[in-house]
Structure 1
Amino acid sequence: MEYREERKYFCSDYQLEILKHRLKAILPYDVHQKDSSYTISSLYFDTADNQCYYENSAGVDDRKKYRIRIYDHSDSNIRFEIKEKLRGKTKKSTVPITRSQCEDLIAGHFLPADNDSSVLSQIYLKEHLQFLHPAVIVEYERTAFTYPIGNVRITFDRNISAIADPSGFFSAQNARIPVLPTHEHVLEVKYDELLPDHIAQLLELDTLTQTACSKYFLCRQACDITNQL
């Protein structure tokens, strides 16, 4: 996958309702979305010296994040992803893993290198050289719209929460720490090269606030603050 444009905005419930009614008249929901939303759980990893966290805090331009992602707390589709950011654009490399492999990673056991997978090879090197380990679970409810021209994907991410204990990755009963004020959520707009004009017009709200926020960074901060109380 090539690098893509990615814009993020803080949104209120009211703003998301306006945008939802505009978008659903023209854009289909994501084909994998069965209801009005689905739950995303991402277990993020970091190095022994918290390289990912501090690079995010400093706004380092060329950086990577490492995560395992599941949907609706199910183990039917488990993927390890490496998300890269370069000059304001993003690229995601992904590989499917088994629940057994996932549980090994959560327990701190290294995965073997795989010459057929660049993602697994990168994970192997990061594990051995920088002690890549579980850091925090990021969880939220997502509503996703898609449009084929420009490979557009527009997502509403509601109720973003941090979960400090990675051992409960597949559980729906974890203690969650909200990371944004009540009724504040995140809108993400992703596309390959150009955003079609008619979609850009649908997204126009004078009160939208663009942000470079990272859900991972917000959740790490929330866990650190909670631990200090």
Structure 2
Amino acid sequence: MRFEFKYILDPIQEQALRSAVNRFMEPDPLAARRGGSYPVTSLYFDTPQLADYYDKSGGYLMRKKLRARIYEPSLRPETPEIWLEIKKKYDMSFEKSRVLISHEDWKNLKNNRYTNLLANARTESDMATLNEFTWYLLQEGRHPSFFVRYKRHPYRDSHSDLRVTFDSTIEAYRHGDLVAPPFPKKVRAGTLMEVKFSRNTLPGWLGAVLRLHSLSRDAFSKYGMSVERLRSYNTLPR
């Protein structure tokens, strides 16, 4: 299990926090190769009743999300990596399993050819993740529901598993593919900072910076906010 804290930043706060993080951390390898940032594009698989959205908006402690993810603005034939991910959360802690699949297997998944998808698993761990992913699709009627894309500036700590990311320009669309729609909707202004770490690895310098800028944790969900932006749902009572 890891922990995830979220903070909404205005432009001045973002500049100050990124300056502080830059002094203690380094861009992750992919960002270092791409000038410090990259796009993150996700396709979320929810139930027909949007169970994942309502679990979040209703304040349930235990919840999950299934998604396909690429680090490109849109899926193209030359896109090098397609990931399937299962993210399970309990309050502020989470665990994530993911598996890398080929373009062929992405087509297998979209066309419900799950036997072909599973047959191409490379390792036992990949097989376990693919089995769980497809089980949720079949058991809960999940299907590709929402396209969400944003720009990410990610940092990592060379001495621990601490990870800090700054996500901005969040866009969404009611869409069933990783190929970008023509006019995705802007979800909200500002930047979302996420701090991810294991127990006892949050360094003192980061806590001091958060206190200096009077930042408090936020329950913001990129997926949840995207659904609310695109459809007029009433949230469940807490």
Residues in 2 aligned to 1:128 and 1:85: alpha-carbon distance in whole angstroms:
21
In structure 1, the residue matched to 2:114 is 111
Q: How much does 1:110 deviate? A: 4.7
Quick one: which amino acid aligns to residue 10 of structure 1?
A: I
Kindly provide the CA deviation profile for residues 136-187 of structure 1, in whole angstroms up to 9, marking residues without a partner as x.
01110000111133410000001111122233x234x63121111x3x1201
Quick one: which amino acid aligns to residue 213 of structure 1?
A: F
Quick one: which amino acid aligns to residue 80 of structure 1?
A: L
Is the aligned partner of 1:212 residue 2:219?
Answer: yes
Mark the CA change 1:174 to 1:102 in structure 2 (over 3 Å): closer, same or farther: farther
In structure 2, the residue matched to 1:16 is 14
- Per the normalisation by structure 2, the TM-score is 0.84
Query: CA RMSD, aligned part only?
Result: 2.1
Structure 1 residues 81-90 or 71-80, which shifts more? 71-80
Q: Determine what percentage of the aligned residue pairs are the same residue.
A: 28
Residues in 1 aligned to 2:35 and 2:83: alpha-carbon distance in whole angstroms:
22
Kindly provide the CA deviation profile for residues 97-122 of structure 1, in whole angstroms up to 9, marking residues without a partner as x.
11233244445x25237483221111
Contact 2:7–2:215, Cα closer than 8 Å, also in 1: yes
Query: Secondary structure in 2 aligned to 1:60?
Result: coil
Residues in 2 aligned to 1:106 and 1:56: alpha-carbon distance in whole angstroms:
26
Query: Secondary structure in 2 aligned to 1:25?
Result: helix
- Per the normalisation by structure 1, the TM-score is 0.87
In structure 2, the residue matched to 1:152 is 162
Is the aligned partner of 1:90 residue 2:94?
Answer: yes
In structure 2, the residue matched to 1:53 is 53
Query: Secondary structure in 2 aligned to 1:15?
Result: helix
Query: Secondary structure in 2 aligned to 1:213?
Result: coil
Structure with the higher fraction of residues in helix conformation: 2
Q: How much does 1:193 deviate? A: 1.0
Kindly provide the CA deviation profile for residues 55-112 of structure 1, in whole angstroms up to 9, marking residues without a partner as x.
11112112110001100235211100000102420111001111233244445x2523
Unaligned runs of 5+ in 2: 234-238
Query: Secondary structure in 1 aligned to 2:30?
Result: coil
Number of residue-to-residue matches in the alignment: 219
In structure 2, the residue matched to 1:186 is 192
Quick one: which amino acid aligns to residue 92 of structure 1?
A: K
Mark the CA change 1:225 to 1:100 in structure 2 (over 3 Å): closer, same or farther: farther
Residues in 1 aligned to 2:101 and 2:146: alpha-carbon distance in whole angstroms:
19
Query: Secondary structure in 1 aligned to 2:68?
Result: strand
Kindly provide the CA deviation profile for residues 173-219 of structure 1, in whole angstroms up to 9, marking residues without a partner as x.
63121111x3x120100101120112322343434242111111111
In structure 2, the residue matched to 1:100 is 104
Mark the CA change 1:28 to 1:110 in structure 2 (over 3 Å): closer, same or farther: same
Mark the CA change 1:164 to 1:205 in structure 2 (over 3 Å): closer, same or farther: farther
Unaligned runs of 5+ in 1: none
In structure 2, the residue matched to 1:79 is 83
Query: Secondary structure in 2 aligned to 1:16?
Result: helix
Q: List aligned pairs for 1:30-45, cutoff 5 A.
A: 30-33=28-31, 34-45=34-45
Is the aligned partner of 1:201 residue 2:201?
Answer: no
Residues in 1 aligned to 2:139 and 2:20: alpha-carbon distance in whole angstroms:
48
Structure 1 residues 122-131 or 64-73, which shifts more? 122-131
